[in-house]
Amino acid sequence: MNAYNQLKSELNSELKNILSYWTNNTLDLEHGGFVGKINHYNKVVSEAPKGIILNSRILWSFSAASNHLKTDEYQDICDRAFQYLKTFFKDETNGGVFWELDYKGNPLNKRKQVYAQAFTIYALSEYYIFTKNDAAKKWAIGIFELIEKHAKDPLNTGYFEAFNEDWSPIEDMRLSDKDMNASKTMNTHLHVLEAYTTLLKIYDTIQLRDSLKTLVNLFFEKFLNNQNHYDLFFDDTWTLLSHTVSYGHDIETAWLVIEAAKQLNNEDLVNQANVIAIKVADTFLNEAIDDDGAVLNEKNLITNHIDTDKHWWPQVEALIGLKYAFELNPDKNFRITSVKIWDYIKKHLIDHENGEWFFRVDKKGNVYTEENKVSMWKAPYHTSRACIVLNN
């Protein structure tokens, strides 16, 4: 077995490890749903809040794995995740989903982050594909219609970042503390595109097709810069607000745009996405890979300052993006690099003692012990998806 085939085989096994960890460690048997936080030492943080990103990603991950493995083994987890979203995160008054609940399921933050609405569509659509639960499909369509109604910019195209509980404008639109307060972001558009791509599999309408096509073109025309990176933060009129680029988002976007174009069955868009993906992947190989074989985090294109931390998720998005690149242009370096990344993951990021993956390590491979195993932003989505895609 050559090194790349071994990588695929090991990822196939790792998928079962990931699903097992989340099944055995994250169920909240006292308050329902899933616990909000597990720390680096694998200890549940009692009374931690519960975020929509974590919970929607759990639903997506177990639904996608069930579809991939063609198994009902995880049906109870999928149903548990769906029911918790429906019972506690769903805003029955204004529509959409809340951002954060307390540990008992009471809303703590009712803001409408478009990123969160998109992830809920993504999860509900995948769950519907698995279960054919009509309530999930109907709810996904309903959130799509809310995004189109409230978040779409009719003047300058694109989608606004966030709103108050009632979908009225909000001043602080930041997705997290580390983000800029920008009205339009690449990250949110990427996950709206991702969600609409999956929704189109179960709900093929002219409106959805038009919106997804517009999103694909935004990635060609607004987000992609002349250095083969995707710019991240913009104002209402698409004025660039930041010169930082994210290597993980670069390589993730390359393949997600291809998938969107394929789902639209638009040959011109597919061809354009393929050409861009090769350029982005080549740039990624030249810039994003550290001497140890792992993916660097971020770079400022003006100062050339590089964040050398190795977060868990860019590593696996690279495995997917480089797979797509190799299929378009069989350069052996794409696979050689993938094997090096996987070797680094096994050595530094997978917790072989307690299970799951560490959030990030520094340039020397030292783990940040203040980061969590499970949290608002630490879910099984990126890792399980890589395991699935590389074995499809």
Token code pair at residue 146 = 């809310």
Give pLDDT, residue 81.
98
pLDDT digits (tens, 9 = 90+) for 65-101: 999 999 999 999 999 999 999 999 999 999 999 999 9
Give pLDDT, residue 177.
76
Does the CA dihedral 29-35-39-40 come out positive or negative? positive
Instruction: Tell me the pairing of strands 112-113 and 298-300.
Output: unpaired
What is the domain-level CATH number for residue 156? 1.50.10.10
Token code pair at residue 39 = 């720390």
Token code pair at residue 150 = 């409230």
Q: How many domains does the chain have?
A: 1
Closest CA to 279 of 219, 233, 238: 219
pTM given for the model: 0.98
**Residue 378 forms beta bridges with which residues?**
375
For the chain, give the longest Cα–Cα distance. 57
Range of the domain at 197: 3-389
Give pLDDT, residue 1.
64
Give CA–CA dist 121/107, Å, rounded. 20
**Mean pLDDT by groups of 10 residues along the chain of 392 residues:** 93 98 98 98 97 98 98 98 98 98 98 98 98 98 98 98 95 80 96 98 98 98 98 97 97 98 98 98 98 98 97 98 98 97 98 97 98 97 98 94
Token code pair at residue 280 = 């982005």
